[in-house]
Structure 1
């Protein structure tokens, strides 16, 4: 099992604007130093985060990066991402390429057009002006889940289907934009478990901030922190020193900081790198949420 010196959490966003308010990044090193926010003067854009990651790939920075999105769509339950569609990709990297190609004309690495494409829209629950449209192939009330998401539900957290693009808890939009990012990083920054863990340089893992919140001691049903005292208590539970006060406490910033501290501790747990249920087929198609065991 490889050790890392730097730990980063990126709270991602699928908002179709140049600089989404939901983008946040926090960094910490080995030891007990509190995570700190990394924040450009104008705020992050998805393109600037892509450049930041490519710069660290070029520098071969010793860094584990937690990315808060789903890098794959459900596949195992139906043996396909889009059952009945002959153009449906057969693995996650082909899915990333498909989403990026179909959304190539969208600025800011947005992916609004993909779930409205005639070939794929039947599988999504989507928001149109003035109405919500549930596609004919959208399964059940909650939508299809990946195997890692089923595992998370047995562990007390409640992930939402990536095929659902409606509501405050939806993660589909951020996941689709994240696939565009991951496609641009192919061959430069490996992504576990789709790629092997490299001997050096940065590595991306999928994280779910609710897992970190639960590990830090946040009560069931509550995972968001909006004040400094609560953040310090949760950081202390993860072996971290108190953080420097922030000008403003928002979910995205505190999620990133707490999860960076959790990732520093969790990275040393061999069980998280070999979770029960992670098969080679799942590693190629759906991926796995780091921390779901």
Structure 2
């Protein structure tokens, strides 16, 4: 029997502003009941998500965050080569981002993006590519290379340009993770303590592919299709959503059901490429082998 009683998936956003329509929170209990949106119709702030996770999320929840909890390290032996303050591990990276962005409202991370040492490593808007960005698609974490081998299409967390970029959500997510310390462990930076709730990194497209969607066509906007995909994970049909269906909501719903369906597979907790050094610095995407 699983030690987890609930499963949650959070579609995150790095957008500017006090509230982000791109955030969706879905949750399901153990069993086969359909996942439901938490506060349906609500437009979340990032701080509200953190407060919910710490103060309202049921104990024993496996919660997936759709964001990159770290940056590439293993390829060059550092997050930020040539920067004397480059952190030694992911937790120190979270602390650095949060410290530099202390005056940025709404858990945003603009100050870090524009920091004179950090910006050398990012691709930013307006054709501003740092001299240490690396060119091409940008530097990748070990787990992102494994994602490619598994049929996914990851982007570098150092890329901040384009509709598919994930860098901004990753940096804002690091501020959340820094503040969650002492309240919620984060795998694999922390081992599973065997009781209580646990945060993992998720990639919602991985759940969509597992549900039978095609690469590059992973979004769901139709309620009937959502039920078809949920059934792949032994889930009952969902309750109708208020208003129009967004990919943020359906991503979160489907991924919560996927987490419940696959979380007990031992191989997902011990991927072959996740060494102790990788776990300490770059982390890993749950579900990637």
Q: Residue 3 of structure 1 contacts residue 268 of structure 1 at CA under 8 Å; is this kept in 2? A: no
Number of the residue aligned with 1:195: 190
CA–CA separation in structure 2 for the residues paired with 1:109 and 1:78: 28
**Larger deviation: 216-225 or 64-73?**
216-225
- Post-superposition offset of 1:229: 1.0
TM-score w.r.t. structure 1 length? 0.96
Contact preservation (8 Å) 1:11, 1:256: yes
Q: How far 1:2 moved relative to its partner? A: 5.6
Counterpart-to-counterpart distance in 1, 2:157 and 2:2: 30
What's the counterpart of residue 3 of structure 1? 3
2:144 alignment partner, one of 149, 158, 168: 149
Query: Residues 27-83 of structure 1, C-alpha deviation per residue, up to 9 Å, x if partnerless?
Result: 0011111100012664211111111111147x7x01000000000100000000001
Question: Residue 270 of structure 2: which of 267, 274, 284 is its match?
Answer: 274
Give 2:240's match in structure 1, choosing from 202, 225, 245.
245
Q: CA RMSD in A?
A: 1.3
Other structure's SS at 1:191 match: coil
Counterpart of 2:282 (choices 267, 282, 286) is 286
Unmatched 5+ stretches in structure 2: none
SS at match of 2:64: strand
Q: Trace 1:1-40 onto structure 2 (pairs within 5 A).
A: 3-39=3-39
5+ residue gaps, structure 1: none
Q: SS in structure 1 opposite 2:155?
A: coil
Residue 175 (structure 2) aligned to one of 180, 187, 212: 180
**Aligned CA distance change for structure 1 residues 70 and 79 (closer, same or farther; 3 Å):** same
Deviation at 1:259, TM superposition (A): 0.3
Deviates more, 1:209-218 or 1:2-11: 2-11
Give the total of aligned pairs. Answer: 288
CA contact (8 A) 1:126 1:132 kept: yes
Deviation by residue 1:140-167 (Cα, 9 ceiling, x = unmatched): 2100000000000001000100000000
Q: Normalised by the size of structure 2, how large is the TM-score?
A: 0.97
Equivalences for residues 1-293 of structure 1 within 5 A = 3-39=3-39, 42-56=42-56, 61-127=59-125, 131-246=126-241, 247-293=243-289
| Contact 2:202 2:285 (8 Å CA) reproduced | yes
Secondary structure of the residue that 1:10 maps to in structure 2?
A: strand
Q: How much has 1:245 moved relative to structure 2? A: 1.3
